[in-house]
Structure 1
Amino acid sequence: MNECPISLPRRHLLAGSASALAAAGLATFARGSLAQTAAPKPLPAFASWKDPASFIVHSSSTIETRRSVFGTSVVTPAEQLYVRNNLPPPDPAVVIDRDAWELTIEGVKTPRKFTLRELRTMDIETTAMVLQCSGNGRGFFPNKPSGTPWTVGAAGCVVWSGVPVRRVAEALGGVAPGLAYMTGTGGEKLPEGLDPLSVIVERSVPVQAMGDALLAWEMNGAPISLAHGGPLRLIVPGYTGVNNIKYIKRLAFTARESEAKIMSHGYRLSPPGAKGDPSQPSVQEMSVKSWINSPSPEASTLKAGLVQIHGVAFGGLHAVSRVEVSLDGGKKWSDARFVGPDLGRYAWRQFVLAAKLPPGSFTLVSRATDVAGNVQPEQRLENAGGYNNASWADHAVNVSVA
């Protein structure tokens, strides 16, 4: 896809203080109630340009989009897109002189360092994709896993522009033989006095993911803000947010996965009560998923009559082919229809079902199917970290009609 058939207004550039960023910190997020009932907090300085009415602020580095805000447009505006940072961002000065940002490429025939200015001359592609935190849906886990209790708002559909990773690798003679992973390293400022491997944001994905990966400098038609990984971010379509490395400073093709703790022990699908370790599956590809945005759980009692039930559906590595909606908690299903443009297999699709609702109580749920035949599951995969929750039952919306 070379262009988006939607007008994408230019976004505000980031303003914020280094002291505020330092306060964004490494604190462990406390367990809490569902995200939609979180107490209101002000936006942190590095995201102060966003629309405060659109968010639930869980902490200074975790900001969730309200379910009622998603609307029926495909692309999520930057002002309404969630924020999840594992470390405080680098100094805001890095987005003032963007072209000076440097990236080292390793694991190719001719390793070298590029400035962003040089990368801009090599090629350009544009990709629409779902950006979703690995823990989106954690708030529905009954065992209350540690971490931010996201419901649906740690996700959005955005448009990225940059140079394809495969073009950069080709220009450097290609990936060296026998290297199975593409490993990205973030450029956050690391806290002093700690083993860098214990805190650094460094993730490895299968080298095949290089095919559609971008080194992106633009999001939704504007330079990527500091809050979302600017000046340069590794974009790996179909993979969860943690694998899309912000402030990328090193891209290496490697024989083994990174030894950083965030890779070796973090973001692992470990059994409830267990700690993550390299033997457990890593949180990487997203699976088929959907949810209803309107009516939302925040809505008051609905008026009887015709209601437009709408939401979003996506398939991770595969396009979505079908969405069904149930009014009775999954006993009977009706096919919804897609609305709006199809921005490619990595983007989400908006769907709608018109239903005439009499007075009473209803449990509204949606269920997506992708082109490979994968069907969104009814139940979540229980795991200690509360990751990869695609359960349609968990994402149900209960409404009263009068």
Structure 2
Amino acid sequence: MTPQDLALNTVTSEPLNAETPHGILKQDRTPNELFFKRNHFSFPEIDGNEWRLDVKLGDSAKSYSLDDLKTFPAKTLLVTMECAGNARKGMDPVPAGTAWGVGAVSQGEFTGTPLSNLIAEADLPEDAIELLFVGADHGLTKEYKEAAYERSLPIAMALHPDILLVWEMNGETLPVEHGYPLRLLVPGWYGMASVKWLTEIRAISEPFTGFFQAKDYVYEGHKGVDEIADGTPVGAKVVRSFILEPQENANVPSGHVDISGIAWSGDTLIAKVELSFDEGQSWVEVELGEQTSRYSMCRWSYHWHPQATGEQTIIARATDAAGNMQPMEAVWNTGGYANNQVQTITVNVN
């Protein structure tokens, strides 16, 4: 199956939210036109020639064109991008919010300059604790108040060399729907942190309490074994795996079945992926492929010899290098965030 045979699955049309077809995840780089799309508002209209990034760090204030930014040293990262609400529909009851299935995840190669290069040109005020990132997209929030999409990062995190200001995606100019002319990239976190259509960066001396940081994208009513306090912001991606082949309800031969899939975590390598063919009573480890970076997917495979014919279930479970393992059941919270329960598929063995 080629990219031409596949299409995004539209979840909402206004604003546009659409899922990547799973078949395309067999490729290391999801084509830009099939990369999942997550928006809170309509796309802003921006003239790239007139656009400027205003950087206000204390007494230092500078304005950069895209050409200015491209004079800084560039860096390219292969990153798995995932929406924090991915698999929200898999929770019971289904929380309010965009009704994502499991397609709000893609992988791409992003090129830009480390944010730290711009910070190095300024003297940060002593009382600065965070940097605020302002996007050009704006509209009414769930509270029916006008707001721009804004998020902040602690200064120490903003200085990490892998926090990028991105102008290129998969070797092409950053598409409008993914933040042209410039977006922030926070590679280990869910996508909400990577502000698109970036127009302003400024230092702030108090924790940011804007809607998309203090009221949206926070954990509330978390039901997990590891308690997360209400109001804790959503941050790093949690460990996850998918079976890509065979697909749900596929007919497979009884002699030999090749099972393959992907796994990823926030900024941690995958330690192992296991499969169960008896509803979780026992597990076998699969063969892991090379993981290009700690931000990218790890591919895996297993040669299965079914012991019986008829309907069979396959469960996939990943564990990352920090020891985090996927739970058997969805960990419910009111926002429907970070659902990383194990994947179960059913196949028919002939």
TM-score normalised according to structure 1 size: 0.78
Report the counterpart of residue 58 of structure 1 in structure 2.
Answer: 11
**Aligned residues of 1:287 and 1:317 also touching (Cα < 8 A):** no
Equivalent of 1:208 in 156, 161, 182: 156
- The offset of 1:235, in angstroms, is 0.2
Matched, 1:142 2:92: yes
Equivalent of 1:183 in 132, 139, 164: 132
Whole-Å separation in 2 of the counterparts to 1:373 and 1:191 = 40
Whole-Å separation in 2 of the counterparts to 1:294 and 1:246 = 33
Whole-Å separation in 2 of the counterparts to 1:109 and 1:375 = 46
Equivalent of 1:293 in 226, 244, 260: 244
Whole-Å separation in 2 of the counterparts to 1:376 and 1:81 = 25
> Given the superposition, is the C-alpha separation of residues 117 and 242 from structure 1 closer, same or farther in structure 2, using an over 3 Å criterion?
same
1:117-153 Cα deviation digits (max 9, x unpaired): 1111012111111110010010101211122222321
Residue identity in the other structure for 1:397: I
**Aligned residues of 2:88 and 2:100 also touching (Cα < 8 A):** yes
1:162-186 Cα deviation digits (max 9, x unpaired): 010011101223x333433232111
Whole-Å separation in 1 of the counterparts to 2:157 and 2:312 = 41
- The offset of 1:349, in angstroms, is 0.9
In the TM superposition, 1:3-402 aligns within 5 A as 53-60=6-13, 61-71=16-26, 73-91=27-45, 94=46, 98-108=48-58, 110-173=60-123, 175-190=124-139, 198-210=146-158, 211=160, 212-271=162-221, 280-297=231-248, 299-339=249-289, 341-357=290-306, 358-392=308-342, 395-402=343-350
Q: Tell me, what secondary structure is at the counterpart of 2:242? A: strand
**Aligned residues of 1:186 and 1:200 also touching (Cα < 8 A):** yes
**Aligned residues of 2:57 and 2:122 also touching (Cα < 8 A):** no
Whole-Å separation in 2 of the counterparts to 1:203 and 1:238 = 15
> Given the superposition, is the C-alpha separation of residues 114 and 268 from structure 1 closer, same or farther in structure 2, using an over 3 Å criterion?
same
- The offset of 1:288, in angstroms, is 1.5
- The offset of 1:272, in angstroms, is 7.3
Whole-Å separation in 1 of the counterparts to 2:49 and 2:72 = 14
> Given the superposition, is the C-alpha separation of residues 379 and 179 from structure 1 closer, same or farther in structure 2, using an over 3 Å criterion?
farther
> Given the superposition, is the C-alpha separation of residues 386 and 191 from structure 1 closer, same or farther in structure 2, using an over 3 Å criterion?
closer
> Given the superposition, is the C-alpha separation of residues 287 and 180 from structure 1 closer, same or farther in structure 2, using an over 3 Å criterion?
farther
Residue identity in the other structure for 2:28: V
> Given the superposition, is the C-alpha separation of residues 162 and 280 from structure 1 closer, same or farther in structure 2, using an over 3 Å criterion?
same
Residue identity in the other structure for 2:320: D
Q: Tell me, what secondary structure is at the counterpart of 1:305? A: coil
> Given the superposition, is the C-alpha separation of residues 288 and 157 from structure 1 closer, same or farther in structure 2, using an over 3 Å criterion?
same
- The offset of 1:302, in angstroms, is 2.6
> Given the superposition, is the C-alpha separation of residues 99 and 309 from structure 1 closer, same or farther in structure 2, using an over 3 Å criterion?
farther
- The offset of 1:99, in angstroms, is 5.0
1:319-338 Cα deviation digits (max 9, x unpaired): 21221222223221111122
Q: Tell me, what secondary structure is at the counterpart of 2:272? A: strand
> Given the superposition, is the C-alpha separation of residues 104 and 52 from structure 1 closer, same or farther in structure 2, using an over 3 Å criterion?
farther
Name the one with the larger strand percent.
Answer: 2
Residue identity in the other structure for 2:20: T
Report the counterpart of residue 37 of structure 1 in structure 2.
Answer: none
Whole-Å separation in 2 of the counterparts to 1:108 and 1:317 = 31
Q: Tell me, what secondary structure is at the counterpart of 2:346? A: strand
Residue identity in the other structure for 1:330: G
Q: Structure 1 stretches of 5 or more lacking a match?
A: 1-49
Q: Give the aligned length.
A: 337
Report the counterpart of residue 226 of structure 2 in structure 1.
Answer: none
Using the aligned pairs only, state the percent identity: 27
Residue identity in the other structure for 2:17: T
Residue identity in the other structure for 2:7: S
- The offset of 1:57, in angstroms, is 1.2
**Aligned residues of 1:108 and 1:169 also touching (Cα < 8 A):** no
- The offset of 1:202, in angstroms, is 0.7
- The offset of 1:373, in angstroms, is 2.2
